């Protein structure tokens, strides 16, 4: 199975101590976001977890201790660096600071395990197509040779944007085509493999490959391991990723990015949840109560064979 640490919240940036403690303890609890009393337990054991997938906008809090996970587990890293400033991503580091941190991450995990995410692409009066093209080229010129690939997506529209992101301009199909063409050309210039995320739209004529951010082929090559041939069902329409289990929680990310799908509530709710965090709890937010129903998760391996990179580990 694949453990994911970043689809619901930026665990790496805000909950590093908790994450390291969970891997040290050898298990973690994940609360069902719909049926709140259902809690699933996952064993954080290299013999049961094929790969740990990270997705963050800031890896600096975990850099010095990351070896505690990478020494034992297969890993893969998605690093989001966009064109936006504090007006859209209030608590995200600057582009140059993020690039510097990515270089530090590369020293530990090597470039083949790192994907640069330039997403979501959205348009406002400030963040025009021209701004995206210029910023994308700047970042690409710095990251060329330091990453395995680039992934981008176009923003999904939610009703709450009328309140939280009123400056958003709805992007047209023609504008998507133009952006795909421009980003594809820049990626080719810097010899960067580029692909989409979460769409069935085809931009292959621009050198842009189809969606599949977390797939067994990429993870396998990055970690020198082999997987069974398994259908990638994806997580939503247009997604072609392999199934994974996220150990985070919605409405708990203080990054407060205005486009975020995972923070559906207002920021006050997010901060209230953040205050409920206990680094010693097996749950990211809050604690297990007497009303909770805790069940063991089904942890089926996708590996074709045991590889010598799969570390030996026994639960204490």
The answer to which of 91-100, 123-132, 194-203 has the lowest mean pLDDT is 194-203
- Does residue 305 sit within a domain? no
What is the model's pLDDT at position 214? 83
Q: How confident is the model at residue 50 (pLDDT cuts 50, 70, 90)?
A: very high
- Phi first, then psi, for residue 131 (nearest 5°) are -65, -45
What is the model's pLDDT at position 308? 41
Q: Whole-model pTM?
A: 0.92
- Does residue 204 sit within a domain? yes
How many other C-beta atoms lie within 10 A of the C-beta of residue 61? Answer: 19
Question: pLDDT above 90 covers what percent of the chain?
Answer: 79
- Does residue 173 sit within a domain? yes
- Does residue 302 sit within a domain? no
Contact 195/150 with Cβ under 8 angstroms? Answer: yes
- Does residue 142 sit within a domain? yes
Tokens (6 digits) for 11:
């665990």
Res 156 pLDDT > 90: no
- Does residue 312 sit within a domain? no
Of 42-46, 163-167, 306-310, which has the strongest mean pLDDT? 42-46
Q: Coil, strand or helix: which one is 219?
A: helix
- Does residue 29 sit within a domain? yes
At which residue do the structure tokens 């709890």 appear? Answer: 281
For the chain, the domain total comes to 1
Q: Which domain holds residue 221?
A: 2-296
What separation in angstroms does the CA of 78 have from each of 10, 144, 301?
11, 15, 22
Contact 197/210 with Cβ under 8 angstroms? Answer: no
What is the model's pLDDT at position 212? 76
What is the model's pLDDT at position 316? 34
- Does residue 307 sit within a domain? no
What is the model's pLDDT at position 28? 98
What is the model's pLDDT at position 313? 36
The answer to which of 34-43, 54-63, 297-306 has the lowest mean pLDDT is 297-306
What is the model's pLDDT at position 232? 73
Give tens-digit pLDDT for 99-132: 999 999 999 999 999 999 999 999 999 999 999 9
């Amino acid at each position: 199975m694949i453990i994911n640490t970043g689809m619901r919240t930026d665990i790496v940036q805000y909950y590093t101590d908790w994450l390291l403690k969970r891997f040290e303890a050898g298990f973690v609890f994940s609360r069902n976001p719909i049926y709140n009393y259902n809690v699933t337990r996952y064993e954080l054991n290299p013999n049961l977890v094929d790969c740990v997938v990270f997705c963050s906008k800031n890896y600096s809090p975990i850099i010095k201790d990351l070896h505690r996970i990478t020494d034992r587990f297969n890993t893969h890293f998605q690093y989001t660096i966009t064109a936006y400033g504090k007006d859209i991503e209030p608590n995200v580091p600057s582009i140059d600071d993020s690039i510097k941190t990515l270089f530090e991450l590369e020293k530990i995990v090597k470039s083949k395990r790192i994907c640069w995410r330039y997403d979501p692409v959205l348009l406002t009066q400030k963040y025009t197509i021209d701004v995206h093209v210029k910023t994308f080229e700047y970042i690409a010129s710095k990251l060329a040779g330091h990453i395995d690939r680039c992934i981008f997506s176009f923003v999904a529209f939610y009703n709450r944007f009328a309140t939280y992101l009123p400056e958003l301009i709805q992007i047209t199909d023609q504008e998507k085509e133009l952006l795909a063409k421009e980003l594809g050309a820049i990626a080719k210039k810097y010899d960067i493999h580029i692909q989409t995320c979460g769409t069935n739209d085809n931009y292959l004529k621009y050198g842009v490959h189809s969606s599949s951010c977390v797939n067994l082929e990429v993870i396998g090559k990055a970690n020198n391991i082999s997987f069974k041939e398994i259908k990638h069902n994806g997580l939503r329409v247009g997604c072609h990723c392999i199934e994974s289990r996220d150990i985070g929680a919605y409405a708990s990310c203080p990054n407060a990015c205005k486009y975020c799908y995972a923070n559906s509530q207002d920021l006050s709710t997010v901060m209230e949840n953040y205050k409920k965090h206990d680094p010693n709890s097996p749950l990211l937010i809050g604690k297990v109560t007497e009303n909770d129903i805790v069940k063991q998760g089904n942890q089926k391996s996708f590996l074709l064979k045991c590889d010598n990179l799969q570390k030996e580990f026994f639960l204490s």
